[in-house]
Structure 1
Amino acid sequence: MSTPQSPLRVIAVGGAGSMGRWAVRTIARLGTASVLTVADIDLDRAERVVASVGGPTRALRLDATDPEQLRAAFAEHDVVVNTMGPFATFVRPVLQAALDSDCHYLDINDDWQPTIEAFDFDADARRRGLHVVVGLGGSPGVTNLCAAHAADRLDVVHELHTGWKLSGATIVDEPGFPAPAASAAVEHWLHQCAQPIRAWVDGAPGSVEPVEQVDLCFPGLGVVTAYTMGHPEPITLPKAYPGLRSSLNLQSGPAWLFDYLREVSARFAAGEIDLRTGAALLADPPAPADPGARSTLPIEWALAVGEKDGEPCRVAVYPRHFHPAKMGGNTGIPLAVGVELLRRGALRDTGVHAPETVMDPREFFDLLAPLTDAGLRDADDLLAVVEERA
């Protein structure tokens, strides 16, 4: 294994995909890797990524459904970066092969079910002295670390919520890498909105219905509306803040679109349509003539509710700037920052972690800021921190 400060040998599973490409580009830009393997089932796309990035990159055709191929590919690397969805299918086998190959592992998993499964590997990762970070993208990832930054400004934390805006969750076409009409991200969205989801309710794990309306008092904005979603922040944040009463992940956007989402999700849950058909319907929704008011919530955010100096207090933390590639950049770049923190020896502990229990928010956002916008210097430039006493 490489020493903490030396460049790492990194393999990116799904590295030619919409999020994987941005992770690869940023790892190369930061000088994190001496070897950077773009591993993908589509070798032609992987080779195009390598041609555009250069430096330490090389292409490899990899079938992530083949455990022997995974272990053979990982054997010559220090770190596995996983952007391969659906994560309910690929987290367990890719993580198992990474540990079997004595590789650290980081991913952008945004499903709550495989997040729970990933913690089954904690003892093995600790025994091997390996770092495993699950859910290091936009939501989860940036939102988790915003939540930690908000919670740390309170003396007591009662509620810790995270959220994201639909307008930021789109794939931007790139020359040579056209986005499909209905992407895997849309299929994931439908799947997570068609079944009860795990959250933190009344101080314990509980289930909530998807796409339920939730009204919040958001510092600086007043009362805002969002809708429940099955991202895994409510699974992991209570591990860092065990006294929490409530934690939800919430999505925001136009009300009419969530009404339509409920209709399509109900048809999918009832077996009237399959996943691909449902995703195609959601990718081209019938917008009304009057779409109504736009959500005022940020693209990614966290809200901590609790007490400070003996008084009720709310703290909102969110990035003020985002990458122009939208979901590709806002997901892949944070993952690359995590790999760079690993190279620097800045991860707090071995074993399986979500971002908030293994990395310092300030260090993370100091690195992320100039990668989001060239004019930004550090976390202070990037983050809005809004505090209100009740």
Structure 2
Amino acid sequence: MNTNHTASKRVLVTGGAGEMGAYACRVLAQADTVAQVVVADRDDEKAAKLAIDLGPKATSLALDIADSDALSAALTEVDIVLNCAGPFYRFGREVLSAAIAAGTDYLDICDDWEPTLEMLELDDAARAAGVTAVIGMGASPGTSNLLAVLAMDECDTVDRVYTSWRASAAHFPRAGEGQEFPDATAAIEHWVHNCTEPIKLWRDGGLVDAYGLEETTLTYPGIGTDPVWVCGHPEPLTLPRFRPEVRESLNVMSARRGLMDAITRIAGRVRSGELDVRQASDELLRQPNLSGRDAGPSPALPSNIFAIAEGTKDGQRVRVGAQALVQPERNMGEMTGIPLAVAALMAARGEVHQPGVHGPEGAIDPKTFFHDLAQYADVPPADGVPVYEVVTEAID
């Protein structure tokens, strides 16, 4: 393995031909610190086509991560693996374990709470092997965690930390020709699963059992207060490891009320046994008033990912909000795959080297990350233009 942290790296991307992985591969193939990008995917034809498009640095590999021998062999040939192949509840721990055995640094886009806890259990093994593993390095989790760090860094002590993302029917699939309703995608099924199955939250200084879609309110400094709905995500499980004094950590969704009323009705039918997740996903796409004015007013909170920390500063209670001002955000592929690639390039430059298994907040410098991420926006910022904001207000 390459142990020189400043030398050009060989990077393998599992699920590299998929929606998220392909964006990561494109960024990596253009970077001076990357010598080779291996586009690894079960769809070898699609992987080969992408590798050709990416140019001479890229090669393709037909790889099914369920084949443990093939996975191990592939990992011994590279310095860093980016895992974009799900489902993470099935393969997250498996791929990370193989990376640790191979001595290969690891990053992924896992957004499930269950495998997050399973992969955190491998922390001692990763430390012993000298492997740095960053789990959940996409949009939310990922960008959201690093915004939370910016907010928490403004506090002497932190009581509560919230990460939030916008749920919108605008991201739903469209009906094809001859269809009255669109077919549910894996992303829709995943969202329905998160909203209907038991989840873990961080409350009263520890993990507690809960369900998603609990309604609460958040206040963003200088903007105002709006309803949000709890989601089962990794951020609440990893952020308290970074700031152990945190008493409450939640990941929440902001959205038009019509959309959340619809998913809440559907979730009730799943929990009663009337529908399974697949049926519920199809039923959701048949509901009226999911978007636009028919779904209610647009949320007053920031339109994209943001974080809020509440705590103390110089003896005063404060609330701190943080959001990115410049970032790639045309679609979920960009918003997930590009942050992953930016973090991988930081690792390739030797800027991410903390052996063990971490959430993004435990290994990634947020200021460097947001500066680098902004360069991949549709319109990169001019020198000196802020790429993120951190705003603070005093609270009673």
Counterpart contact for 1:305–1:315, Cα < 8 Å: yes
State the secondary structure of the residue aligned to 1:80: strand
Structure 1 pair 41/78, CA: closer, same or farther in 2 (3 Å)?
Answer: same
| SS of 2:342 mapped into structure 1 | helix
Partners of 2:168 and 2:259 within 8 A in 1? no
Structure 2: 5+ residue stretches without partners: 175-181
Partner Cα separation in structure 2 for residue 343 and residue 372 of structure 1: 21
Deviation at residue 293 of structure 1 after TM alignment: 0.7
**Matching residue's letter, 1:310:** G
Q: 1:378 to 1:255 in 2, by over 3 A?
A: farther
Aligned counterparts of 1:106 and 1:303: Cα–Cα separation in 2: 25
Aligned residue number for residue 158 of structure 2? 157
What is the aligned counterpart of 2:300 among 296, 304, 319? 296
Deviation digits for residues 325-372 of structure 1 (CA, Å, limit 9, x no counterpart): 321111101111111111111125111111101121111112111112
Q: Which amino acid aligns with 1:259?
A: D
Q: What is the Cα deviation at residue 252 of structure 1?
A: 1.1
Distance 2:60 2:171 in 1: 26
- Alpha-carbon displacement from aligned partner over 1:289-343 (angstroms, at most 9, x marks no partner): 7321111222100001111121111110011234243211111011111111111
Amino acid at match of 1:350: P
Give the whole-Å Cα distance in 2 for the aligned partners of 1:68 and 1:278: 37
Confirm or deny: 8 A CA contact 1:172 1:328 kept in the other structure: no
Q: Does 1:325 align with 2:326?
A: no
* Structure 1 residue runs of 4 or more that deviate by more than 6 Å after TM superposition: none
Q: 1:171–1:256: structure 2 CA closer, same or farther, 3 Å change rule?
A: closer
Check the 8 A contact 1:168/1:327 in 2, yes or no: no
Check whether the contact 1:171–1:325 (CA below 8 A) recurs between aligned residues: no
**Paired residues for 1:274-353 under 5 Å:** 274-283=276-285, 285-287=287-289, 290-298=294-302, 299-353=304-358
Give the aligned partner of residue 235 of structure 1: 237
User: Corresponding residue for 2:123?
Assistant: 122
Q: Which amino acid aligns with 1:68?
A: D
Cα separation, partners in 2 of 1:169 and 1:387, compared to 1, 3 Å: farther
Compute the displacement of 1:168 (Å).
9.4
Are 1:365 and 2:382 counterparts?
Answer: no
Q: CA deviation at 1:51?
A: 2.5
Provide the residue aligned with 2:389 in structure 1.
384
Query: In 1, Cα distance between the equivalents of 2:202 and 2:93?
Result: 24
Deviation of 1:171 (Å): 7.8
Q: Please give the per-residue CA displacement for 1:154-199, whole angstroms capped at 9, x wherever unaligned.
A: 11211111010023983899xxxxxx94322212111111122111
Q: Secondary structure at the match of 1:214?
A: strand
Partner SS state of residue 159, structure 1: strand
Cα displacement (A) at 1:213:
0.7
For the 8 Å contact 2:11–2:34, the answer to whether it is kept is yes
**Aligned counterpart, 1:87:** 88
For residues 212 and 90 of structure 1, what CA distance do their matches in structure 2 show? Answer: 29
If the length of structure 1 is used for normalisation, what is the TM-score? 0.93
2:274 paired with 1:269:
no
Letter in 2 for 1:129: G
Alpha-carbon contact 1:306-1:314 (below 8 Å) kept: yes
Q: Are the equivalent residues in 1 in contact too, given 2:224–2:300 (CA < 8 A)? A: no
The alpha-carbon distance between structure 1 residues 283 and 80, as it changes in their structure 2 partners (threshold 3 A), is farther
For the 8 Å contact 1:367–1:378, the answer to whether it is kept is no
The alpha-carbon deviation at position 246 of structure 1 amounts to 0.8
Deviations along 1:192-235, one digit per CA (max 9) or x if unpaired, are 11122111111221123210111122212211111000111010
Tell me whether 277-286 or 35-44 shows the greater mean CA deviation.
277-286
- TM-score where L is the length of structure 2: 0.92
Question: What SS does the aligned partner of 1:223 have?
Answer: strand
Percent of aligned pairs with the same residue? 39
Paired residues of 1:193 and 1:210 also in contact (CA < 8 A): yes
Tell me: CA distance 1:380–1:198, structure 2 relative to 1, closer, same or farther (3 Å): farther
Between Structure 1 and Structure 2, how many residues are aligned? 384
Structure 1, 264-273 or 84-93: larger mean CA deviation: 264-273
Q: CA deviation at 1:284?
A: 5.0
Q: How far is the alpha carbon of 1:138 from its aligned partner?
A: 0.5
Q: Secondary structure at the match of 2:225?
A: strand
Deviation at 1:374, TM superposition (A): 3.6
In 2, the alpha carbon distance for the partners of 1:325 and 1:56 equals 26
Whichever residue aligns with residue 389 of structure 2, its letter is: A
Provide Cα deviations, 1:26-80, integer angstroms capped at 9, x if missing partner. 1112233211111111112212221222231111111121211211222211111
Moved more, 272-281 or 322-331: 272-281
CA deviation map 1:127-178 (0-9, x unaligned): 11111000000101101000001100111211111010023983899xxxxx
2:257 corresponds in structure 1 to: 255
